[in-house]
Amino acid sequence: MPEKAPFPSVDDKKPAPAARPMPDAAQPPDGPAPASPPASNVFVAPGKQSTPRGDQHPAQPAHPGVPLSPPGIVPESDVRLHSPAAATPPAGRPRQDDLGDLPKGYGDGRLVAMVRDPATLFIYWDLSAQQVEQAFSDIGPSRAVLKLWNARHGAGELVREAEVQLETRGWYLRDLPVGSELRVELWAMGERGARLLRAARPLRLPPGLPSDQLEAFYVRLDLNQPLPRDGIAGKRALEYVGGPPMEWDRRLDSRHRSDSHPSSGSMPWSGTLPNRSGSAGSGEGQ
Amino acid sequence: MSGGKGALAIVLHAHLPYVRHPEYPDFLEEDWLYEAITETYLPLLEAFDRCVDDGVPFRITMTLAPPLVSMLRDELLMSRYAKRLDALCELCDKEVHRTRGDAHYGPLAWHYRDHHYHLRRLFHDRYKRDLVGAFKRLQDAGALEIITCGATHGFLPLMAHPEAVRAQIQVACNHYRMHFGRDPRGFWLPECGYAPGIDKFLAAENIRFFFVDSHALANAVPRPRRGVYAPVFTPSGVAAFARDPESSMQVWSAETGYPGDGAYREFYRDIGYDADYEYIRPYIQATGDRKNVGIKYHRITGKVPLSDKAIYDPKAAAAKADEHAADFLFNRTRQIEYLRTAFGSGGPPPIVVSPYDAELYGHWWFEGPIFIEKLIRKIAYDQDVLQLQSPVDYLAEYPEQQVAQPPMSSWGAGGYSAVWLDECNDWIYRYLHKATERMIDLARDYPDASGVERRALNQAARELLLAQSSDWAFIIKTGTMVDYAVRRTREHLLRFTRLYEQLKAHQLDEPWLTSVEASDNLFSEIDYRVYRPAAAS
């Protein structure tokens, strides 16, 4: 039986698990990003917003504890985490900077592609009204299109074409070929012609898989010597005795492990140290 | 390897976002620092010092991120912390009085009183309110290898400009030199965020090693022959060490990790919420909102409602930490023996790298510092299979390693950028990229500024760095304290923008600049020219 608490009235409603591992599945298909900052009125007026009655335990404590990462793996206590709470400044006026608000955009003709994961790019653009107008003039009924080209073998291979709404100013392109080197272009496509609005710098998606290049090169870099200014190149192959253990690739796949939360005893070398009472070492609550 | 069949590298990454609000007498998010000092940094320091005093040999690698170092050496924050600790001791006295005669809670109240009075003596008498100095002494004694981190913990793979990456690294290294009196040898990439090319900027600072998540080496090109159990030299010559998945899970796992054991202290049951309101009122938020105060009388117990938590037993919890340290060591020795056999005897022994956020130990897992100390002692005396090493020790002993190129990666959920680049937080990047472009522009326009212009340029660099902190995007994604993270992102960007516009117009508002310098006061040594265009470097 649990001990009786020394204080009255504890509301033990289980808080929302805000810090659970981030969902990776069920991503929507290519689609727009919100791409706008939250409204400037983000501050909650000072007050007792999280404590309806002074003597009552709020269901969702305002205090989240020190933020920790990695966010995908959290201690047991953390998964019972509470929900967001406003960071309410105490009473009293802060220094008034009159800083205004962030602009919606800069209209500087920017197109930027960023890697989210091995199969997903986030692309944002920042175009002036004049740039848009010029691009779409005289081409008849038209649409804005993102084109992804394979950048490794010239500009010949079109990987993906996606119609976008320019006003969203950002777009996610998903299910792309992992490990590919891509160049993103934003086009105005009309019935009477097409114009390139902007091109982003080429980028490369991570491979997401172990390399099939197995040739190993080794170099010796003594700590008491500065690193070579122009980097290093493999000098010679060394053949160490012994190869990688069986099922090496699978066991090195940390994502598999993180997602499935296996017990710590699944490795070939794993064991359980009996405790003094002979039960599992990781104890109760496991 | 002077002894044993392999190496174990324990890495504790101590980082907090820079939170300092002199404009308020009391600010909730400053509690992150105060709680981490009380629950993590002081207990860890004491555990390390006790081992050193007892002559126990050990090597632990520890990041002290630049914002944390700056806060720990900030007189305003340390004064506020001292007051906070005084208040906590006062509350402990009241608790002893309130629970007198209670056979269960009375002894616990005494336990907390003794604990916090002891911490106060440590803070003032032993460490003289200088925890950075205390960590430095442990490094000088050879027990710790202190490494640095991105200047403000910016997530480097999403920075569109090489100058921004260089600035995060160079500012951090200069800051380290100022506080630790030598060059850093290792670097914690914020969130283990790596992308090809970042190592080049580390090499420019003569950094010799950094860490990546497991899949970064598993998917490196060519495929590393020893997987995550040996480092690789990246093309710049800086070594990349990878996180061992198993030892990480044993501590981090939400379901099977040690910190979830029922004997350990329950984080969420705190008298800041349990106590009578008028009684606890002087120790909670100035607004009157309740908050954790650090006195927690219950243990995790199991998956039961907070009201059903059983009473905490410090001795039983310490015994459990000892048991878990033995279990952890048992599994590491078996792991290393297995790997050593698999690798054969022809090459270097395996190294198992186990990195954790330092604040897990003590703050989230109250008994974590006990676990660490027990583990250190058991490794020293109870086995001869493995040796605690820092990566730099391993590289000194085994300077010949495979060359490979890890891919872009991080240790966040999914293993890439998805935590910091998501529908909820992707809006920040267009502003960060624009501000970076403008900062580079300023560094080009002002190749050698002086006087108030130099101050403004340096402050602009500080504001940009602060806006880049990965903590803001992370907090927005996790949904805790979102408004504060949004506010910080916006404020630093807007302050940067104002400085930029004033510099462009040659119309500096010096009184305002002075007030901003007083608020966002980290990196006194910064030189804005770190943002000079890369082509001109």
**B53-66: pLDDT as tens digits:** 999 999 999 999 99
Q: Which amino acid is at B139?
A: Q
Q: Do B412 and A72 touch (CB under 8 A)?
A: yes
Q: Is B525 in contact with B170 (CB distance < 8 Å)?
A: no
The pLDDT score that the predictor gives to residue A98 is: 80
| Residue at token pair 């976002």 | B17
Between A31-35, A164-168, A177-181, the lowest mean confidence (pLDDT) is in A31-35
**pLDDT at A188 exceeding the cut of 70:** yes
Between A147-161, B198-212, B267-281, the lowest mean confidence (pLDDT) is in A147-161
The pLDDT mean for chain B works out to 95
Structural domain span for residue A120: 110-204
Q: Is B203 in contact with B237 (CB distance < 8 Å)?
A: yes
Name the CATH code of domain B6-73+140-258+351-413 (choices 3.30.390.30, 3.90.1150.10, 3.40.50.300, 3.20.110.10): 3.20.110.10
C-alpha pair distances (Å), B359 with each of A93, B15, B192, B367, B369: 32, 8, 17, 12, 10
- At residue A230 the predicted structure's pLDDT band, cuts being 50, 70 and 90, is confident
User: Which of A126, A127, A252 to mutate: most B Cβ within 10 Å?
Assistant: A252
The 10 Å Cβ neighbour count of residue B133 is: 14
**pLDDT at A19 exceeding the cut of 50:** no
Burial class (CB in 10 A: 0-12, 13-18, 19+), A202: middle
- Give a yes or no: residue A8 inside a domain: no
- At residue A47 the predicted structure's pLDDT band, cuts being 50, 70 and 90, is very low
Whether the CB of B342 is below 8 Å from some CB of chain A: the reply is yes
Whether the CB of B318 is below 8 Å from some CB of chain A: the reply is no
Residues of B whose CB is below 8 A from A221: 233, 237, 239, 395, 399, 401
Separation in Å, CA of B460 to nearest CA in chain A: 14
The pLDDT score that the predictor gives to residue B249 is: 86
The pLDDT mean for chain A works out to 65
Residues of A whose CB is below 8 A from B227: 244, 248, 251-252
The pLDDT score that the predictor gives to residue B496 is: 98
Q: What backbone phi and psi angles, to 5 degrees, belong to B502?
A: -65, -40
- Give a yes or no: residue A15 inside a domain: no
CA–CA dist B87, A259 (Å, integer): 43
Q: Is B26 in contact with A90 (CB distance < 8 Å)?
A: yes
User: Which of A264, A272, A275, A276 to mutate: most B Cβ within 10 Å?
Assistant: A264
Whether the CB of B141 is below 8 Å from some CB of chain A: the reply is no
**pLDDT at B189 exceeding the cut of 60:** yes
Determine which one of B130, B274, B357, B426 is catalytic. Answer: B357
CA–CA dist A117, A174 (Å, integer): 9
Percent composition of chain B: helix, strand, coil (DSSP 3-state, to 5): 55, 10, 35
Q: Which of residues 411-430 of B touch A (CB under 8 A)?
A: 411-419, 421, 423-424, 426-430
Residues of B whose CB is below 8 A from A263: 256
DSSP output for B434-490: HHHHHHHHHHHH-TT--HHHHHHHHHHHHHHHHHTBHHHHHHHHHTSSHHHHHHHHH
**pLDDT at A28 exceeding the cut of 60:** no
Domain ranges of chain B: 6-73+140-258+351-413, 75-129, 422-536
Cα pseudo-dihedral A113, A114, A120, A123, rounded to 10: -40
Most confident region among A7-21, A77-91, A245-259, B147-161 by mean pLDDT:
B147-161
**pLDDT at B138 exceeding the cut of 80:** yes
- Give a yes or no: residue A183 inside a domain: yes
**How many domains would you assign to chain A?**
1
Separation in Å, CA of A152 to nearest CA in chain B: 17
The pLDDT score that the predictor gives to residue A36 is: 54
Q: What does the pLDDT look like over B265-297, one tens digit per residue?
A: 999 999 999 999 999 999 999 999 999 999 999
Q: Which of residues 33-52 of A touch B (CB under 8 A)?
A: 33-38, 40, 42-44, 46-51
**pLDDT at A79 exceeding the cut of 60:** no
Whether the CB of B408 is below 8 Å from some CB of chain A: the reply is yes
The pLDDT score that the predictor gives to residue A273 is: 56
What is the 3 state secondary structure string of B156-205?
HHHCCCHHHHHHHHHHHHHHHHHHHCCCCCEEECHHHCECCCHHHHHHHC
Residues of A whose CB is below 8 A from B300: 76-77, 285
Of the candidates B189, B487, B524, B155, the residue with the CA atom closest to the CA atom of residue B355: B189
Half-sphere exposure (Cβ direction) of A11: Cα atoms closer than 13 Å: 14
Nearest Cα residue in chain A from B339:
A245
Tokens representing residue B464 in the block: 């940009």
Instruction: Please give the residue that has the higher pLDDT: either B175 or A261.
Output: B175
The CA-CA-CA angle for residues A279, A280, A282, to 5°, reads 130
Q: Do A102 and B206 touch (CB under 8 A)?
A: no
- Give a yes or no: residue A243 inside a domain: no
What is the 3 state secondary structure string of A74-121?
CCHHHHHCCCCCCCCCCCCCCCCCCCCCCCCCCCCCEEEEEEEECCEE
Rounded to an integer, the average pLDDT of B91-101 is 97
The pLDDT score that the predictor gives to residue A34 is: 55
Q: Do B245 and A254 touch (CB under 8 A)?
A: yes
Q: What does the pLDDT look like over B419-446, one tens digit per residue?
A: 999 999 999 999 999 999 999 999 999 9
Residues of B whose CB is below 8 A from A269: 331, 334-335, 337-339
Between A235-249, B7-21, B215-229, the lowest mean confidence (pLDDT) is in A235-249
The pLDDT score that the predictor gives to residue B344 is: 84
Residues of B whose CB is below 8 A from A79: 254
**pLDDT at A51 exceeding the cut of 90:** no
- At residue A88 the predicted structure's pLDDT band, cuts being 50, 70 and 90, is very low
Of B191, B266, B323, the CB nearest to A275: B323
Rounded to an integer, the average pLDDT of B89-99 is 97
Q: Report the topology of domain B422-536.
A: immunoglobulin/albumin-binding domain-like (1.20.1430)
Rounded to an integer, the average pLDDT of B177-201 is 97
Nearest Cα residue in chain A from B492:
A99
**pLDDT at A141 exceeding the cut of 60:** yes
The CA-CA-CA angle for residues A107, A108, A110, to 5°, reads 110
Burial class (CB in 10 A: 0-12, 13-18, 19+), B231: buried
Whether the CB of A170 is below 8 Å from some CB of chain B: the reply is yes
Q: Which residues contact B214 (CB under 8 A, 6 or more apart)?
A: A252, A253, A254, B228, B242, B243, B244, B245
Q: Is B458 in contact with B528 (CB distance < 8 Å)?
A: yes
Q: Do B483 and A33 touch (CB under 8 A)?
A: no
Q: What does the pLDDT look like over B143-171, one tens digit per residue?
A: 999 999 999 999 999 999 999 999 999 99
Rounded to an integer, the average pLDDT of B10-20 is 97
The pLDDT score that the predictor gives to residue B155 is: 97
**pLDDT at A178 exceeding the cut of 80:** yes
Q: How far is CA B214 from the centre of its chain?
A: 19
Active site residue B191: yes
Q: Is B9 in contact with B391 (CB distance < 8 Å)?
A: yes
- Give a yes or no: residue A195 inside a domain: yes
The pLDDT score that the predictor gives to residue A97 is: 67
Rounded to an integer, the average pLDDT of B345-366 is 93
Q: Do B203 and A231 touch (CB under 8 A)?
A: yes
**pLDDT at A237 exceeding the cut of 80:** no
The pLDDT score that the predictor gives to residue A248 is: 35
- At residue A107 the predicted structure's pLDDT band, cuts being 50, 70 and 90, is very high
Residues of A whose CB is below 8 A from B407: 206-207
The pLDDT score that the predictor gives to residue B122 is: 98
The pLDDT score that the predictor gives to residue B227 is: 94
CATH of the domain at A181: 2.60.40.10
**pLDDT at A274 exceeding the cut of 70:** no
Q: Is A88 in contact with A63 (CB distance < 8 Å)?
A: no
Q: Say whether the peptide bond before residue A103 is cis (omega within 30 degrees of 0).
A: no
The pLDDT score that the predictor gives to residue B206 is: 96
- At residue A244 the predicted structure's pLDDT band, cuts being 50, 70 and 90, is very low
- Give a yes or no: residue A274 inside a domain: no
**pLDDT at A199 exceeding the cut of 90:** yes
Q: Which of residues 190-249 of A touch B (CB under 8 A)?
A: 204, 206-223, 226-228, 231-234, 238, 240-245, 248-249
Rounded to an integer, the average pLDDT of A121-149 is 96
Of A65, A214, A253, the CB nearest to B223: A214
